[in-house]
A and B are shown apart, each in its own frame.
Chain A
């Protein structure tokens, strides 16, 4: 019995490792000459073979210290995003973008959430707060989960990308979108640096 159990455990681990071993990682750096910050650029795989159902777990965008957090949130089409108010002041979420049906969630108190499902691939609605006009956030609706958001230095990572050749796209709020290509190996890293102008 012990031998059977050990064999089962080892076999399961082997299968898991084999699955993980069939996925690579895309890393790189986004450069924007003269930009004050390189953060919040989304680098993503435009189209990956297969279907990618939205996760059951809702994504979260918080409103805290008068800011949307995260500032940019990439999601798979069909994902429901919860908007949480963590401030002791009223907040609101609305978008003027048609692709997200110009929703307006009203206002709600601290600790409560309101939810929206984003189901149109290619839609990247801006999120605004009617109470605090300086607040701004974005949801980027994608076909697949292979996306990364740059940090302050412009570095990004996209993990668990299946082996293959892909078109990489870059989303940012100020500059024109950029396209590149990358070949992801069976295991290991593929590099993709991008310059935005």
Chain B
């Protein structure tokens, strides 16, 4: 479909104004494949897709398997790649396994109405992009110890074209405490990686001088594991990995490293189970608990902005509390950037967000963001200014697999300078099947 020049201009402006998102791989993880596999509702695992509830995290931490015995809950019949008895024959045979019995595929689509504010009369007051992106997911388990999760994503790039991405992860699930993952890895410090609303979180979107940010994914290899805490409640999770590097040069000679660890007190065990879990609380979106975490990323970014390499280190602390129908969540990240011949730069970004389930199908959200690009710059440098933003939003789960979101992004600091490019209303429709 060819777009008129005016429409292309508007879409281009809209995409520049919207927070940068390196494709949307880490945003939409709703997978009806599992809904069909277990004949269960989306809300078994999702607070409001793609955001996971406590059980969804436990499911993920079991290598996308039901805690306590996946075979008891699985409703499809997998296709055997070898009888169980071949375990006795090994090493004189290939170790037996199985693959999903049906096609483990699902589709997610999203459309957006973007309404920038403070535009001149010559610019349209809204732009509709339907669909804005379409994802085809494929995911599941392979035998007892492998699992996979992949996507083919098509996104309207606002310039009359379609961007295509195909991230993929293969995991060896040796034990809930120890897993190896290869493929497209997330390294976002914010909890859960899946944001409830379209607007990217400032901590994730904070860009280094050569263009690195914690949003998106990179090819790499990682380790991760999780376990329950005392009494089967709460628990711990770690993840660490080595990724290719996010430079603009063809091959990042230096690899980047990251690590993240969290500890949860109270609530459902990180790997599930029912021990000690009797409660009057029964709603799928509740999980009274508190979690704290730490994060570190160290890497080298070859430049398109600066020809010299940029060495960066990022440190973050996270905390979230779930209580009854509310979730409070905050992350602070410090990023230090070193480029030979230039002054070092230290950035600081943090946010605090509250969500409240008014009804199971209606959620209110309010986020406050603060970013300083260069905490060491003189006050005359614009990079030393604190940039603050408020994002109120409402999410409606029209159905378990149909979501409508209305968000408003309001610059607080430097309002006059930012209002044209940043202030907007955004209406998004998501559905998955």
* B279 with A88: CB separation less than 8 A: no
A66 within 8 A of B: yes
Tell me whether chain B's interface is mostly helix, strand or loop, or mixed: loop
* B274 with A109: CB separation less than 8 A: yes
* B282 with A66: CB separation less than 8 A: no
Residues of B within 8 A of A134 (CB): 39-41
- CA separation between A87 and B279, bound complex, in Å? 16
* A66 with B39: CB separation less than 8 A: yes
* A66 with B40: CB separation less than 8 A: yes
Residues of A within 8 A of B283 (CB): 130
Q: Which of A65, A88, A133 contacts B274 (CB 8 A)?
A: A88
Residues of A within 8 A of B38 (CB): 66
B378 within 8 A of A: no
Q: Bits for A5-21, please: 1 = Cβ < 8 Å to B, else 0.
A: 00000000000000000
- CA separation between A88 and B43, bound complex, in Å? 18
Task: Tell me the minimal C-beta distance from A179 to chain B in angstroms.
Answer: 34
Q: Which of B68, B278, B282, B400 contacts A112 (CB 8 A)?
A: B278
* A133 with B400: CB separation less than 8 A: yes
- CA separation between A107 and B280, bound complex, in Å? 6
Residues of B within 8 A of A89 (CB): 55, 66-68, 73, 272, 274
A132 within 8 A of B: yes
Q: Which of A85, A90, A133 contacts B43 (CB 8 A)?
A: A133
- CA separation between A138 and B273, bound complex, in Å? 27
Residues of A within 8 A of B72 (CB): 65, 87-88
- CA separation between A7 and B340, bound complex, in Å? 112
* A107 with B73: CB separation less than 8 A: no
Take A132-B44, A134-B41 as given contacts and tell me if A107 and B66 are in contact as well, using a CB distance cutoff of 8 Å: no
B residues sitting closer than 8 Å to A (CB atoms) are 38-41, 43-44, 55, 66-69, 72-73, 268, 272-284, 400
- Residue pairs across A and B with Cβ atoms less than 8 A apart, 14 shown, are A65-B73, A87-B274, A88-B72, A90-B268, A90-B274, A104-B282, A106-B282, A107-B278, A109-B274, A109-B278, A130-B284, A131-B44, A133-B400, A134-B41
- Listed from nearest, the 3 A-B pairs whose CB atoms lie closest are A88-B68, A109-B274, A92-B282
